[in-house]
Amino acid sequence: MILENIVVGSYMVNCYLTGSSDTKEVLIIDPGSSPGSIKAKIDDMKLKPIAILLTHGHGDHIGGVIELKEHYGIPVYMHELDGDMVGATRTNFTRMMFGRSIEFTPEKFVGDGDIITVGDLEYEIIHTPGHTQGGISIKCGDVVFTGDTLFHGSIGRTDLPGGSYDQLIGSIKTKLMALPDDTRVYPGHNSASSIGYERKYNPFLR
C-alpha cells in the first residue's frame, strides 16, 4: 500500500496520497493547498492519481483541488451533505483563508458503506458527521483516514456551521471505535495515532 503524507498550507493540513503499490494508482485525499508540492511528489514517485477524495468541505482541505483536478483530469469525490459548501466561498471560507475564492462542483458523491477500488485495494467510506454534516472517514485494511473528525488525543471543532458536538462524539464512538485497536489513524491535522491509543487516552472519549 502506498501511503504518503504531505503537510500543506498555513493550516497544516495532512494531504495523503494512498493507493496500490502494484499499479501505482492513488487517491489524493484532502489537497488543502500547495498543489505544486503535491504534484512534485506524484511525479517523483511516478504515481497515477485516479480521483481526489475530500474528507469534508472546509476551505483548508480544498485549496489545491481545482489545479490538481484540471492537471490530471480526475474527478472529485465527497459526501453529498458538504456538496453545497465547496460550491460557495461563503460557506467554505476560502476567500477569507486564501484571499481568493475556491468554488467547484464535485463529480461524484459517496456515502456510508461505499467502496472505492484502487488497484488491488478497497477504500470504504464511513460517514462520520459532527465536524460538518458531510464529514467522512475512509478505511482501507488496518488504516483509517479521519479528516477533522478524530485527531491524536483530540477531536474536531464543532462550533462552525453544520457542527454538532453530540453528533461528532456519536460518530467517533459508534463508527470509529468499532474498529480494531491496531487500526492506524491518519487525521486531517497533526500526527498519526491508532484506534487503541485513542480509545485509552483521548480525553473526549472517556
| Contact residues for Zn ion, defined by CB under 5 A | 58, 60, 148, 188
Q: Which is nearer to Zn ion, 106 or 121 (CB)?
A: 106
Write a three-state SS string for the chain: CEEEEEEECCCCEEEEEEECCCCCEEEEECCCCCHHHHHHHHHHCCCEEEEEECCCCCHHHCCCHHHHHHHHCCCEEECHHHHHHHCCHHHHCHHHHHCCCCCCCCCEECCCCCEEEECCEEEEEEECCCCCCCCEEEEECCEEEEECCEECCEECCCCCCCCCHHHHHHHHHHHHCCCCCCCEEEECECCCEEHHHHHHHCHHHC
Nearest residue to Zn ion, scored by beta-carbon proximity: 58
Measured from the CB atom, the residue of 12 and 115 that comes closer to Zn ion is 12
Minimal distance, residue 23 CB to Zn ion, in Å = 30
Nearer to Zn ion, 58 or 139 (CB): 58
- The CB-of-133 to Zn ion minimum distance in angstroms stands at 12
State the nearest-atom distance from the C-beta of 132 to Zn ion, in Å.
6
Instruction: State which residue, 49 or 130, has the beta carbon closest to Zn ion.
Output: 130
Cβ 15 to Zn ion shortest distance, Å: 11
